[in-house]
Amino acid sequence: MLMADSWLSSLFQRLMGGEGRGLKIAQDALCEALSINDNRITEIHLYKQRDPIHPRIEVTLIPVPCRS
């Protein structure tokens, strides 16, 4: 499971060209750094919050047991 918490300067601001695109950029960077294939991520949670002084994105990757 991938969880992304985004603190934006405005809640109306888009994440790096749009929510889907910005999330994909973060997902690709995280998966590349960990040497895992991004197609193994089966669940994504995206949260937007406001922080006009320190906009950022925090990404958490949580292993989930395989379902048979």
> Domains in the chain: how many in total?
1
pLDDT tens for the chain, 68 residues long, are: 889 898 888 877 665 555 556 778 888 888 899 898 988 888 899 898 989 999 888 888 888 887 76
**Cα–Cα distance, 24 to 59 (Å, whole number):** 11
Identify whether 22 is part of a domain: yes
| Structural domain boundaries enclosing 23 | 2-61
Q: What is the pLDDT of residue 10?
A: 81
Contact 10, 53 (CB under 8 A): no
Domain assignment present for 39 = yes
- Is residue 19, in this structure, part of any structural domain at all? yes
In a domain, 67, yes or no: no
Is 36 a domain residue?
yes
Model pLDDT, residue 12:
73
